[in-house]
């Protein structure tokens, strides 16, 4: 802007990415503050889980065309909660899975009945390096930064949202490698 260097598309694109990243960070901090303060209202309505997962998967495919994203949702799969907040959780999990997957890797998003009665399971699996067993719980703590140096807020927010829905979220070893994050939510 000061004229020292002429703007070119690459510089502008880099600046845009940095600005968008900063905007996401501010939004995450504000979300976490509202969730922790208990001022965030979560509606509990029955909704078609497949529609929410499909929307999150479509967005993730746009952002990372080099990753194969496979969506498998059992027909009639429903959850009880706030569809926008669940979309936020799934979008965050997909972003993490894509970021940790190797180039050309596969990310799987699945939904179906959970082992516990009255619950539905959503799973996101990647082919990345996985999460060490010692960090499986810590990755959901505020500002815990894993190997990627992220902000450490996305999974903390995901846990708060899932907790507000009366559900659970866990990081498990992938099969045969990578990471699998399982979210269980109440059904209507």
Structure tokens that stand for 47 in this block: 């909704």
130 preceded by cis ω (within 30°)?
no
- Name the residue ranges covered by the structural domains of the chain: 43-186
- How high is the pLDDT of residue 146? 52
Which residues are CB-contacts of 34 (< 8 A; sequence separation ≥ 6)? 40
Rounded CA separation 127/102 (Å): 7
pLDDT of residue 124: 97
pLDDT at 127: 92
| pTM (two decimals) | 0.77
3-state secondary structure of 101: coil
Q: Per the structure block, which two tokens stand in for 56?
A: 């999150």
The confidence score (pLDDT) of residue 2 equals 65
Q: Which two tokens stand for residue 187?
A: 């059904």
Query: Which residue has tokens 């979560």?
Result: 42
Here the tokens at position 125 are 């699996």
Residues facing residue 182 across a β-bridge: 123, 170
Q: How far apart are CA 42 and CA 60, in angstroms?
A: 24
SS3 123: strand
**DSSP tag of 104:** T
3-state secondary structure of 169: strand
Q: Can you give the pLDDT of all 188 residues of the chain as single tens digits?
A: 566 767 777 767 666 666 766 666 666 667 667 667 766 667 899 999 999 999 999 989 988 888 999 999 999 999 999 998 999 999 999 999 998 899 899 999 999 999 999 999 999 999 988 887 777 777 877 654 554 555 467 888 899 889 989 999 999 877 778 999 999 999 99
- Residue 151 has a pLDDT of 47
Model pLDDT, residue 140? 75
Give the model's pLDDT for residue 13: 67
Going 146 to 91 to 141 to 132, the CA torsion angle's sign is negative
Domain 43-186 has CATH 3.30.565.10: yes
């Amino acid at each position: 802007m000061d004229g020292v260097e002429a703007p070119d598309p690459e510089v502008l694109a880099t600046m845009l990415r940095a600005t968008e990243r900063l905007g996401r960070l501010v939004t995450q901090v504000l979300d976490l503050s509202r969730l922790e303060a208990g001022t965030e209202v979560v509606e509990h309505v029955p909704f078609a889980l497949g529609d929410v997962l499909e929307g999150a998967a479509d967005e993730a495919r746009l952002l990372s065309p080099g990753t194969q994203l496979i969506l498998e949702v059992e027909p009639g799969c429903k959850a009880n909660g706030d569809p926008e907040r669940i979309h936020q959780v799934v979008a965050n999990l997909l972003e993490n899975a894509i970021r940790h997957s190797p180039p050309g890797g596969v990310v799987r998003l699945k939904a179906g009945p959970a082992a516990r009665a009255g619950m539905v399971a959503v799973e996101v699996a990647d082919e990345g390096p996985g999460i060490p067993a010692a960090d499986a719980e810590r990755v959901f703590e505020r500002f815990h930064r894993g190997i990627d140096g992220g902000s450490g807020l996305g999974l903390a927010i995901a846990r708060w949202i899932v907790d507000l829905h009366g559900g659970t979220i866990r990081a498990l070893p992938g099969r045969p490698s990578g990471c699998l994050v399982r979210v269980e939510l109440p059904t209507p």
